[in-house]
Amino acid sequence: MSNDLEPLDPATARQMYLDERRHEVSDATVQSHGYRLKQFVQWCEQDGIDNLNDLSGRDVHRFRVKRRNEDELATPTMKGQLATLRVFLRFCTTIHAVRPGLDEKIILPKITDDDARDELIEPERARKVLEFLEKYRYAALEHALLEVLWHTGLRIGATIGLDIEDYDADKQYLNLVHRPDEGTSLKNGQTSERLVALSDRVCRVLDDWLSVNHSGIVDDYGRSPLFATRGSRLSRNRGRTIAYQYTRPCIYEDRCPHDRDIETCEARPTEQAYACPSSLSPHPIRRGAITYHLQEDTPEQVVSDRMDVGMNVLDRHYDQRSKWEKLQQRRRYLPDE
């Protein structure tokens, strides 16, 4: 152990790190890092490591093996966990709590194409979530948002950038506009601008949301956001929290597939919903919507245009149909003779 190190227990170091990061990143990122590092702190306590000065590369390796094998983490989750730990240890180096270079001993796992496109919401699960919202939160912000995300496959950034005037209730479509100077840009700029058709169901929910529950607020640019809280345009972080909140199985099925006590589960508070192993961010909802459209025989070019995703990206990262499913769907377009 270096004589320059100053004793510090893992829990205190975690809190110091989070306090430092609050000034640099969003609240959602701080919460995410807090949860990931909580697992590391608990492991240290169970392993008898009460002073980070004693932490070695071999200890870090044992933590990695434990999380990968015993906790059965998926590769993307494992990568996120270790990336946060590496930044944390780098911070600990600056306050003389761990040996210099310890963070460099963390090797992040590589994510394959299969890993990257694994997480998505299945149609049956999406149906259960929306049925719950229709029954208990009808035409509330959460209901309107998740109806649009599932049925259109829009990115969360594009969704929260919509204004009321971008919704045509009579012709049933959304008009996506790139407005970078007003804080609502589209991922691919003006090439992402398009009209997105809506179903009767989505329009019914949007109409009731606007007429009954919308706060009527105007943003700093004098625009009326389609999705708004009581005081402002819906933020990306709040949109992600809503997705995490209502994709927890305990919400729409009143059961926990992870054998946790629902009343005492750390993921029960809304702000901690991301801590549920089954909760999903908006992107898996988008991925699930795209896959569902493909499985329902929507032509790939139509899906590509509607969801603003290139054909090559669509095939590599979103299309979860088996080769057999693709064959059967192509067969329907063959002539009879």
Considering the domain architecture, whether residues 80 and 159 belong to the same structural domain is answered as: no
CATH code, domain with 152: 1.10.443.10
Domain with 31 in it: 10-111
Considering the domain architecture, whether residues 132 and 276 belong to the same structural domain is answered as: yes
Residue 93's identity, in one-letter code, is T
Considering the domain architecture, whether residues 251 and 159 belong to the same structural domain is answered as: yes
Q: Are strands 194-197 and 167-168 parallel, antiparallel or unpaired?
A: unpaired
Q: Between the CA of residue 183 and those of 160, 193, 247, 271, what are the distances in Å?
A: 10, 15, 28, 25
Phi, psi of 196 (to 5 degrees): -120, 120
Considering the domain architecture, whether residues 143 and 233 belong to the same structural domain is answered as: yes
Name residue, tokens 């506009």. Answer: 177
In a domain, residue 231? The reply is yes
In a domain, residue 255? The reply is yes
Considering the domain architecture, whether residues 318 and 180 belong to the same structural domain is answered as: no
In a domain, residue 118? The reply is no
Considering the domain architecture, whether residues 39 and 179 belong to the same structural domain is answered as: no
Long-range contacts of 106-115 (CB under 8 A, 24+ apart): 106/60, 106/64, 106/82, 107/82, 108/79, 108/82, 108/83, 109/75, 109/78, 109/79, 109/82, 110/75, 111/75, 111/76, 111/79, 112/75, 113/316, 113/317, 115/74, 115/75, 115/76
pLDDT attached to residue 119: 78
pLDDT attached to residue 263: 87
How many other CB atoms are found less than 10 A from the CB of residue 136?
12
What's the CA gap between 149 and 285, in Å, rounded?
7
pLDDT attached to residue 116: 46
Considering the domain architecture, whether residues 192 and 304 belong to the same structural domain is answered as: no
Length of the chain counted residue by residue: 337
Considering the domain architecture, whether residues 239 and 132 belong to the same structural domain is answered as: yes
pLDDT attached to residue 210: 98
pLDDT attached to residue 1: 43
Considering the domain architecture, whether residues 137 and 105 belong to the same structural domain is answered as: no
Considering the domain architecture, whether residues 199 and 106 belong to the same structural domain is answered as: no
Last residue of a domain, one of 83, 111, 139: 111
Q: Between the CA of residue 105 and those of 64, 242, 253, what are the distances in Å?
A: 11, 36, 42
Considering the domain architecture, whether residues 313 and 255 belong to the same structural domain is answered as: no
Average pLDDT of adjacent 10-residue blocks, the chain of 337 residues: 80 95 77 87 92 93 83 70 90 94 82 57 94 97 98 94 97 94 90 92 97 95 96 92 95 88 87 86 91 77 77 60 56 51
Considering the domain architecture, whether residues 318 and 271 belong to the same structural domain is answered as: no
